Amino acid sequence: MLSLATRQQYPVLKRDGKEVWSSVMGRTRNRLILKKEEVGFVRSYLERKLYTKDWPSHETQKEALADYEQRPIVGKFAHDELARWCRKWLNDTQCLQLRNTMNSWRHRQRTIDLPKRIHLSHNAWKMISTLAEMEKKSISSFIIDRFAAEYQALEGDGPLS
C-alpha cells in the first residue's frame, strides 16, 4: 500500500509504513536505506571520513563524531540506527557519495565469485589440462589443490574455497 505523507515539509512516499523515496522539485532528499549485511562496510566508511578534518562539515564535525560514538550501532537494529545517523548529519552530496560507494561495494560482493578468465599458451594449457585429467579434476580444482598450501603460507590463511 502506497501513501503520500509529509515530513519536514517534504513529500515522502511510504510503502507499508517505510520511506521509499522523497523529492523536492526534482532534488532528492538525504535518504539512505541500509541492509544488515552492509553495516560493517558503512561503519568503516563513516569512521574513515569522520576522523578526517571538517567532515561532515566544519561546523558539525565535533557534534557528529560525538553523536556517532554515543549511538549503539550494534545488534539487530544497527542498520536502522546507522541510517538515522546519516539522515541527521549528512547532506545530499555526502549521502550520494556514500550511496555510490555502497553500490560499488555491492557490485564487488556480487562479482567476487564469478569465474575469471586467464590466457595460457597452448603448451601451458596442455600441461595443466593433462595433469588435471590424470587426477580426474577440473583445471580450477587442480590448480587450487596444487597451490593451496603455498598460497596460504603467503597470505596467512587467506580465503580459499
Nine cell digits for residue 30: 538525504
Q: Which whole number is the average pLDDT over 8-15?
A: 47
34: Cα separation from own chain's centroid: 10
> Which amino acid makes up residue 90?
L
Entry pTM: 0.54
CA distances (Å), 159 to each of 113, 152, 155, in order? 12, 8, 9
Report the distance separating Cα 91 and Cα 79, nearest Å: 19
Q: Which whole number is the average pLDDT over 148-158?
A: 77
The conformation of residue 4, written as its DSSP 8-state character, comes to E
What is the sign, positive or negative, of the torsion defined by CA atoms of 135, 137, 143, 146? negative
Report the distance separating Cα 118 and Cα 122, nearest Å: 12
So what's the pLDDT on residue 10? 44
- Please check the confidence at residue 20 and state whether its pLDDT lies above 70: no
Q: What percent of the chain has pLDDT over 70?
A: 77
